[in-house]
Structure 1
């Protein structure tokens, strides 16, 4: 288990992504995945109010509803660390006090709980004064509706502004950051965020840990990606000699450990400074073992160096 930043949240070092719940996985499939995740030692689930409004017929909140129904039927709310987010689902868009308060109440109702363990500002809102957002999130903490706060998709400069305002108001600082970070998307975190993360002791919970499936080894050529039109758009930038070079090194190391490419990619991410628990999703339970294996897999210094070198072009 690992602590999220300076908080007392004790989490499995892999967060199960809830973006598939109600999207590529229906309710029974989602609950089966959740059952298997917990059976494998997991306890940290990541959701958002906006998951998955993009699916035709959905209205948003599907992921939270499924997660809430699962916790209710299993009677395990106290054993699960629930993370969810606000700012992207209408009518609670942005980070005004009204959006934060209204979004939290709607999420609590869908989740069937009276508290959220980790509540993220899903995206920066330059149109709202940070002072207003900081105060509104703190009101939730004071009311006992939220245990800890997090920021997602924030720049280093804006994180510093938030911390300064929290200190000025004398309220709790965020304890977590959720950035886009993986072996083939390194520059943003390593060049601009990592120093800030370490300075403030934030726990990093990266999303796109498997680069939309590219780091599972699913796509071995441009032709492979073209045959998966539903998801291939997210991997277009990696279908290069450099990207396939990363897969080749992952193959070599995976063979040494007798695990999958995905396990190695997530273990590398878990080894990075500040990272507590990468997020990864499983559409069906058959995809879970590779994810769970990454949580206890320790790469050697030499293996990490090989992966660093293979992916160096993505850190520039």
Structure 2
């Protein structure tokens, strides 16, 4: 059959995502481009692969059969790339990396510098994406590996074909407008700016409970996101329902709103670096964490370029050796 990997990948992604638009977003194409890929695949096979059902499309029996085999073909192709890389005397090749905004700003740049110094033959192509999408992107072969987030309170199902390595852990603090909680904030010194990352000097009086915010407005992403659900779960465990005044996904925008005095939110030191802000950062009594992880397909674990980048990432995050999460029936999570 005269088909291409791009055409097969479009079909496989359609089984995962259900709509042409969602496939286009996942693969970085236009919806028209995805439709052209599927049309070309239908011409190559001589069979109808899709049918329209209202505004959606669904696979025909032929389409479902081809999608199943297409996934195997793409996996075999990726394994062949790995095998070829191992025959080279030096580590070289191109890696496609998916990452979320905070990782793009804070984690990837130093890692790329180290990769360039240690392995000049490795080319990294990065792609910013919604952190809730990175696991599917790796599983579907859209990217070779990705930086993601794991929230212990709200895990998402893991694909058994994925490996997940923990790079670091971050504990959440409470970000409040300057002076909003005077009984607990340290008024003997200026409010901490969000550009600072050292938490060792936070005094005891600044420690608060999530329950202390029950009368305050919150700035949170949608509860449809794993991050939003993680915060909601922690608040409910503390005995209250957060009053969401502003539903915001962007971290820098969240910090700006806290600084403006319109609500509170939870933050980590890495998040605080995205936007220098004047606000109070208070330590929480409750332990609320997120884990920064690197995700790649199991069979790619010994692919030289993947192993090289993973090694650089865990070195640059100061986590060596990392704790490897179990895969298969375990769960995972996000922001």
Normalised to the residue count of structure 2, the TM-score between the two structures is 0.24
Q: Which has the higher strand share?
A: 2
Question: Considering only CA atoms, is the larger Rg found in Structure 1 or Structure 2?
Answer: 2
| Structure of higher RCO (CA pairs closer than 8 Å, 6+ residues apart) | 2
**TM (normalized to structure 1)?**
0.25
Greater per-residue helix proportion: 1
